[in-house]
Amino acid sequence: MKTLKNILTVTLLFALLASCKNEVSPEVKTVEVETKDVKKNLDPDATYAKVEFSIDGMTCAMGCAKTIEKKMAKMEGVKMAKVDFDKRLAMVEYDEAKVTPTTLEEAVAAVGDVYKVKDMKTVDQFEGEKACKPGCTMACCANKSKAEKAECKPDCNMDCCKDKNKE
């Protein structure tokens, strides 16, 4: 029994001595990382087009839809890209001089072979988007710029413009 105590004591002492380190502070390493400017240089004079299309093959909102959305949003000339997983619908606003519907389709296919673009169509406004009359102060127009409000047609019958058109 005494030998067992001695062996355990020596083992414990050896473990304590072996695990002690003389370093007081951890080593700090600096790694340089190349960063890209996330803000895009969008041409304010460019002609922007809006397209909507369905995407087949998506199985999840975070993995599929968000990956496709990020891929298209990073493209040079894309002002805005949104993918609605529930509706299987993509909405993209892009500079017609830099991006074409074909390049958008290729970007979706580049994310994965299972994703297929269908029913691509050019639209004046995205599904669920409301147009606003210039000077509209209603809540649906509060966050829109003057240029966006100017896109509203004088005969617009959208809820946010109905009352304003009677002026």
Q: Quick one: pLDDT at residue 23?
A: 56
pTM of the model as a whole: 0.55
Distance of CA 152 to the CA centre of its chain: 27
Q: What is the pLDDT of residue 103?
A: 92
Give the model's pLDDT for residue 7.
93
- Note the pLDDT of residue 52: 92
Report the amino acid identity of residue 40.
Answer: K
Output the pLDDT for position 166. Answer: 46
The residues, any chain, with a CB within 8 Å of residue 91's CB and separated by 6 or more, are: 50, 51, 52, 80, 81, 82, 83, 84, 126, 127
**Cα(117)–Cα(104) distance, integer angstroms:** 9
Q: Please choose, from the candidates 56, 31, 40, 51, the residue with its C-alpha nearest in 3D space to the C-alpha of residue 112.
A: 56
Q: For 48-123, which CATH class?
A: alpha beta
Query: pLDDT tens digits for 30-59?
Result: 666 554 444 467 777 788 889 999 999 988
Give dist(CA 59, CA 4) in Å, integer: 61
Q: Where in the chain is the domain with CATH 3.30.70.100?
A: 48-123
Low-confidence residues of the chain: pLDDT under 70: 17-40, 128-167
